[in-house]
Amino acid sequence: MIWSDGSVAVANATGRAAMERGREFVASRLLASLGGSGDAFRITPVLAPGTPKHYIAVQNQEAEDPARRVAAAAANWGVTPRQAEVLALLALGQPNKTIANTLGCAGATVEIHVSALFKKSGCESRCELVSRFWSRPIGPRRPKLAAMGQQ
């Protein structure tokens, strides 16, 4: 996850390794991607009212069709075919209104599907869901700590 100035707030193991090899290089490519003049990263804004502007950045390696990962999520998370369609569009950074228009349904219906995806994946936010979706590999739903008797 990155802030609007290109600084890295949170990184997975791959991101941390890249930063260790060349922090300035990675930061410059992040800023270029944020500004629309670079394509090293796929940038997805995180829309959370009351929080500073931040983004999820996924390094572009090859253009990846989300279909294979959607199929894995469907198998591991018990996602319905319609939820899989919503998940694919979420993974591409589409907002609910665009998803609703694309799928020919109401925005409230998309919200219901997104909420179901949170529950099935064990995620608590769009940011976490999209990040987990593009991370390797897609595994079974994460159990909630409270559900395991931990706080």
Assess whether 7 and 36 both reside in one domain. Answer: yes
Count other Cβ atoms within 10 Å, centred on residue 83: 21
pLDDT of residue 128: 85
Is there a contact between 45 and 36 (Cβ–Cβ < 8 Å)?
no
pLDDT of residue 143: 57
Quick check: pTM over 0.75? no
Owning domain of residue 105: 67-134
User: Residue 140 domain-assigned?
Assistant: no
Q: How many structural domains compose the chain?
A: 2
- pLDDT of the chain along its 151 residues, tens only? 777 676 777 777 777 777 776 777 777 777 788 777 777 777 888 777 777 787 888 777 654 678 888 998 888 899 999 999 999 998 888 889 999 999 999 999 999 999 999 999 998 988 888 888 887 567 666 555 444 454 4
| DSSP classification of residue 146 | G
Assess whether 71 and 130 both reside in one domain. Answer: yes
